[in-house]
Structure 1
């Protein structure tokens, strides 16, 4: 019985040390090739644009990075990113939650 208890304690301690180490690792995504990063981009169509106000409304497919389904919504975006865009443009983009504001971090014309 003592051997089983000792083994359980050692196993618990080992898992307790390994879990934070694994959680803190980048899981290899830092070296992900650009093609794989683009696979995470979402397709969308610009519906409304306010470059001066830094807002863009996009009808988009699923946003896997945010756990959201397809819908139309307004995002924050830097005016420079919106400079050559107009309503009706088809785009591929990435967005993230920055301090509670959904923000477009990358946008390119859809091919």
Structure 2
């Protein structure tokens, strides 16, 4: 897993309009690799995340809704919005990929 202490995140955190406008955040395709219910995280292999300036990689995300941890499983293909809240990358919404 990757620690999210990039300077770009600190700069992006100042752009609160991006953080609160969940519906305006573009969706990115990804594959769920692991669900960690104890940590409240989903590990996703994802493409470019323009909304937070992140290149393609596999990393852990917090979730906006903890119920998602029981709805998703490893191997699921999703489209999701990622945002930075409180200095942490989170999945703010998702849909199953078609």
5+ residue gaps, structure 2, are 1-16
RMSD value over aligned CA atoms? 2.0
Give the match for residue 76 of structure 2: 89
- Relative to the length of structure 2, the TM-score reads 0.70
Query: 1:56 offset after TM fit, Å?
Result: 0.4
- Larger gyration radius, structure 1 or structure 2: 1
* Structure 1 runs not aligned, ≥5 long: 1-25
Structure with more of its chain in helix, by fraction:
1
Tell me how far apart the structure 2 counterparts of residues 72 and 82 of structure 1 sit (CA, whole Å): 17
Dislocated runs of 4+, deviation >2 Å: none
- State the structure with bigger RCO (CA 8 A, min sep 6), 1 or 2: 2
Bigger fraction of residues in strand: 2
1:101 pairs with 2:88? yes
Q: How many pairs align? A: 77
TM-score, structure 1 normalization: 0.62
